[in-house]
Amino acid sequence: MKFGYGIDLAQSLNYCGIVVTSIEEQIRLVTIKKIKNSTYPELSNLLIDDLFKRFLPSYVCVDYTNEKSFSETLEAHLNSGFLDQSSSSYKKWQCVEPVVFTQASKLQLKQNARELFEKKYFVWPKKERSDPVIWSLVEELREQMIREAGTAGPDGQLRFPKPAGYDNDLIIALELNLYGGKKFLPDFTDEWFYVSGY
């Protein structure tokens, strides 16, 4: 079984969202975390020392917009040659997919997630089989998904501002996860969206 991660990074005042899924014929939610007041080293330790040991990642799709070293730390842990100048893997991303957020890439992430939802590639967990703590985050994730909507900016391009008074960390983490996971689905095609920009 393959495991995938979507991580919407934040530290201190904002929440960091982490969505872990399993991938076979479909993508299924395994666990979900919402973390506040943690530094990037604390977040990377949580991933490396806990989650990665329980759910060894086939891919990690992460917000690379403002924090480069976090993604590089994860890649170096999963790909031992990443920081070794003598290695053929030096500075070659193999496990972590760093995504730079732009208005265009956010739109593509949302379009990709919508396609996966519509084609029933993503399976929501059932309440009766879920841990109550995880289930409360699943419900919050669904609420965030409903609130996320693009609005046209002055130039006519769609923008996806954080809804005033609400968080959007979990839906962004899920969208990142689904973006990374689609290539592991049985009938993945190259016509799907690509958004990386590193």
Tally the domains of the chain.
Answer: 1
What is the per-residue pLDDT across 87-132, written as a single tens digit (0 to 9) for each? 999 999 999 999 998 888 888 898 888 889 888 899 888 888 778 8
- Measured N-to-C along each axis, helices 103-118 and 169-181 cross at an angle, to the nearest 10 degrees, of 70
pTM: 0.85
The answer to whether residue 189 sits within a structural domain is: no
- Residue ranges making up the domain that contains 113: 2-184
Torsion region of 108: left, alpha or beta (phi above 0 gives left; psi -120 to 50 gives alpha)? alpha
The answer to whether residue 195 sits within a structural domain is: no
- Please give the average per-residue pLDDT across 150-154, as a whole number: 53
Residue with tokens 């309440």: 127
Q: Given pLDDT bands bounded at 50, 70 and 90, which one contains residue 192?
A: very low
The answer to whether residue 26 sits within a structural domain is: yes
The answer to whether residue 135 sits within a structural domain is: yes
Neighbours of 155 (CB within 10 A): 7
The answer to whether residue 198 sits within a structural domain is: no
Q: Is the dihedral of CA 111, 126, 51, 17 positive or negative?
A: positive
What residue ranges in 14-170 does DSSP mark as E strands? 16-23, 27-35, 57-63, 96-99, 122-123, 151-152, 158-159
The answer to whether residue 193 sits within a structural domain is: no
What is the per-residue pLDDT across 2-20, written as a single tens digit (0 to 9) for each? 999 999 998 666 889 999 9
The answer to whether residue 194 sits within a structural domain is: no
What is the per-residue pLDDT across 20-74, written as a single tens digit (0 to 9) for each? 999 998 999 999 999 998 888 999 999 999 999 999 999 999 999 888 899 999 9
The answer to whether residue 92 sits within a structural domain is: yes
Whether residue 3 contacts residue 21, with contact meaning beta carbons closer than 8 Å, is answered with: yes
Indicate which CATH number applies to the domain containing 76.
Answer: 3.30.420.240
